[in-house]
Structure formats: structure tokens, C-alpha cells
Structure 1
Amino acid sequence: MTRSIRPDAVLVQAVIAGALSFAHLHDIAAAAGQDGWKAWAYPISVDLLLVAAWRRLRILRSTGEPTRAAWTWFAVALAASLGANIATAGLLDLTNVPAWLRILVAGWPALAFLGGTLLVHTPPTETDSPAEHVDAVAPKFVPAEVATEPVTAPEPVPDAVEAAEPVPALPAPPPMDVPPALVDHARKLADAHRSSTGQPIDSATLRDRLGLPGPMADQLATHLA
């Protein structure tokens, strides 16, 4: 089965543009002193770096990695190609090329070699460790459920604790002697408290009013009740 060859306008245009750009780069290299085969190798080097940078740029975009380095070398190759094409438009005297252009053309091979090496041999950046990648890719094994009777753990048997011996009750404190003068003064406070509040005075109020310890205030309250 034969296939008919159809001319593609885009492909024809690309071939023509590439040939013209190649010729312009050759003319610039020859005018800058790169005669013979070196003048033909110069445009090949520029175009190859341009293609390599664009290809590397597409790969980095597809993997989501940084594309700054690829964009840099693509811009360098594009500037060299575009600059050579513009320079042949009569802006430069090709019979008397300036020294800076001779330096650029002579130094291009080293720059192109560095760019091509970095584009090809730069390893991709890995954000995940190999162990995490294996865990993410490998299928997780989930064991099948086995129908078994529920097993109840035996209740712990508390250790035998001997009964503690009864603690004897503490003896009651001896009665505290309350001076009669203090009793009279407390009675006056109790009467004033009853007349103002209508309630008998309690031991807490006596303790706060007279500044007595708790047991003595309790005994006073008992006397006054």
C-alpha cells in the first residue's frame, strides 16, 4: 500500500526559515574569521542548542520541575540566532567586523558546550524519597477477616488484702476555760447581732469579730446559744 506525499505548508516554511537562518549564521561566522568548516559548524551548534533547550524545557514542564535553567539556555541560543539574522540586514559591515563580535563568535563553542552538557546531564530533582515512592506505588495487602468467636479476657483476681486494724479514736480535747469578761463581751456582740440580723450569732462571726481561735469561738457560741 503506497502513501501519497502531501506537501505541508508549515513544514515547507520551517525548512525555508531554517535554511535562511543557517546561511545568516554561516555568513556571520565567516566574516568573524571562522573560515572553512568552522563557519558551517557554527550555525549547527547554535540551532542544536536551541532545539536541545526547547526539548529540555518541555520535559521539565511535563514533570513539574523548575524550568529556569532551560529557559536561560533557550534565551542564549535564541539571542545568538536572532542576532546573527539581524546583523546580516546591513547593520554591520561584514568586511570589517568589530572586535567584540569576533570575540563572541570565537567564544561561542565553549558556551554552547557548557549549555548542552548542563541540559543533558542535569539529574531531575526528586522530591520524594525512594521508600515513600515504593509505599505509594506498591499495593497494600489487607488480610481477609476471619470469623472467630469473641474471646473475653479473664477478669483479674484481686490479691487478698488483710483487713486493717481499727484505729483507736483520738481522745477529746480538754475543755477550754473561757474568761467571764470575754463571755460578757461576746454576749454583747451576740445581742447586737441578733437585733440587727434577727439571727443568733455563729462561731465564725465570733471568730472574725474577736480574733479568737476556732475551738474557743465554738465554746463561746455554745455558751451564748
Structure 2
Amino acid sequence: MSRIRIDAVLVQAVIAGALSFAHLHDLAAAAGQDGWKAWAYPVSVDLLLVAAWRRMRTTADNRAAWVWFVIALAASLGANVATAGLLDLGDVPAWLRILVAGWPALAFLGGTLLVHTPATAPTEPEPLRVSAPPVAPAPDPIPDVTVERGPEPAPELPPAPAAEPAPEPAPTTTPTPAAVPPALLDHARKLADTHRATTGSRIDSATLRARLGVPAPLADAITAQLA
């Protein structure tokens, strides 16, 4: 069997509410509100307190709720203080009778404004938005450009040297024929035969020199031996 846990705060609230309820009832009864009307006054004050408190918890702009909360709290505290022996409940002043008589209309106005005023939720801070760094646009592709080079200027030739006097002709001597290797002579003979068969003429010294890649004296010696 579960045990009933007694909350000290709840007990304190019940005691305070009962005492305040009784003080409001006694003040309303002393001000001329008899019967059930005297019991309705504490209910009206406490309901306005609760409505103002709930309004302050559910809206961001709670200035109006604070005003009505202070008014209801002043009515409750005023009744508690007035019934503590500071006021003669047998001879209540006229201004207090006027306040007690006008309270229902004031409480109805406050409750209507608290209930029917649109509630605005408490504003929450906007999330921090981190902007991405700007992305640089991609560079335009470089077009392929073919650069044609112009003709290079011809190098300047140095001035021709002055003509020197022609040397005196050397005495004519009969050149000694160069020695021709037998293998080279055989190869030259094959080239000469091929040249004769192709052109129908004998091969000359210049052509044979170009074919064999030999010096001019050696080409002349080979040509002389092929004759």
C-alpha cells in the first residue's frame, strides 16, 4: 500500500489560502455583502490572481498581467490587514464599501482582458547563422591562341674582305695516283655497272665520290682504274 506523501509547501498554501479566503469573506460581509455574495468575493480575488499569474508565464509582454496581479494581491493583502483589528468591522467607512461594491466589475474586466488578449509566446533567440565564405567564380578558360612567328631577319653579313692578289700558279706536277684497296675497287665497280645499266653512261668521278663518300683524289684514282 502506497504511502501518502505530505508536501509542506502544499500544506502551507492551503493554510494561507484558507486564511485569506476567510478574511476576504469577513470584509465583504462587514461592507454589506451578506449571504452567498460574501463567499463569492474571495473566489473572485483568488481567480484573478491565478489568471494573472498564468498569463505572466505564457506571454512575453506581461505588463498588463502584472498590473492585474498587483490589483488582486492588493485586494487580498488589504482584506488580511483590515481584519487584523485595524478596522472596525462594525463601522466600515464609505470608501471601503464603494471598493467592495465595485470589485465584481473590476474583476470581470481584468479577467476578460487576461483571457481574450492574444498571447504571444516568449521570443527565442534566433539561431546563429554562419554564412559560408563567398565562393570565387571560376576563371574563364584561356582560349587557345596560336602565335605565328614572322620570318626572322637575315643576319647581317660582314663586309667581304678586300680581294687579295691571286697567287702565282705553282709549277705543274703530275699527281701520284692514290692506292685503292681491292675491296673498295670491287664495290666501286659494282656501282659503276649499276650506273651504266641505269643511265647508259659511264659514272663520273663526282658521282662516284658521292656514292662512296671518299675524298676527291681517291675518287679520281678509282675512276681512272675503272676506265
Category of TM-score, reference length = shorter chain: 0.5 to 0.7
Counterpart check, 1:48 vs 2:44: no
Which whole-Å CA distance do the structure 2 matches of 1:14 and 1:125 have between them? 30
Q: 1:148-198, CA deviations, whole angstroms, 9 ceiling, x for partnerless residues?
A: xxxxxxxxxxxxxxxxxxxxxxxxxxxxxxxxxxxxxxxxxxxxxxxxxxx
Counterpart check, 1:9 vs 2:4: no
Counterpart check, 1:114 vs 2:113: no
Which whole-Å CA distance do the structure 1 matches of 2:29 and 2:115 have between them? 29
RMSD: 2.6
TM-score by length of 1: 0.53
Aligned positions of 1:169-188 closer than 5 A: none
More helix by share: 1
Contact 2:58 2:119 in 1 (8 A): no
Which whole-Å CA distance do the structure 1 matches of 2:51 and 2:120 have between them? 19
Superposed structure 1 runs of 4+ greater than 4 Å apart: none
Aligned positions of 1:21-32 closer than 5 A: 21-32=20-31
- How far is 1:124 from its partner? 2.8
Gaps of 5+ in 2: 127-227
Counterpart check, 1:91 vs 2:86: yes
Identity of aligned residues (%): 82
Which whole-Å CA distance do the structure 2 matches of 1:6 and 1:125 have between them? 37
In the other structure, the counterpart of 2:166 is none
Contact 2:31 2:97 in 1 (8 A): yes
Which whole-Å CA distance do the structure 1 matches of 2:64 and 2:40 have between them? 25
TM-score by length of 2: 0.53
In the other structure, the counterpart of 2:178 is none
In the other structure, the counterpart of 2:58 is 59
Contact 2:58 2:120 in 1 (8 A): no
Contact 2:44 2:107 in 1 (8 A): yes
Q: Aligned residues, how many?
A: 130
Aligned positions of 1:1-225 closer than 5 A: 2-60=1-59, 65-125=60-120
1:6 partner letter: R
- How far is 1:37 from its partner? 0.1
In the other structure, the counterpart of 1:142 is none
Contact 2:49 2:69 in 1 (8 A): yes
Residue aligned with 1:95, SS: coil
Q: 1:115-142, CA deviations, whole angstroms, 9 ceiling, x for partnerless residues?
A: 000000001359x9xxxxxxx9xxxxxx
Gaps of 5+ in 1: 129-135, 137-225
- How far is 1:10 from its partner? 1.0
Contact 2:26 2:38 in 1 (8 A): yes
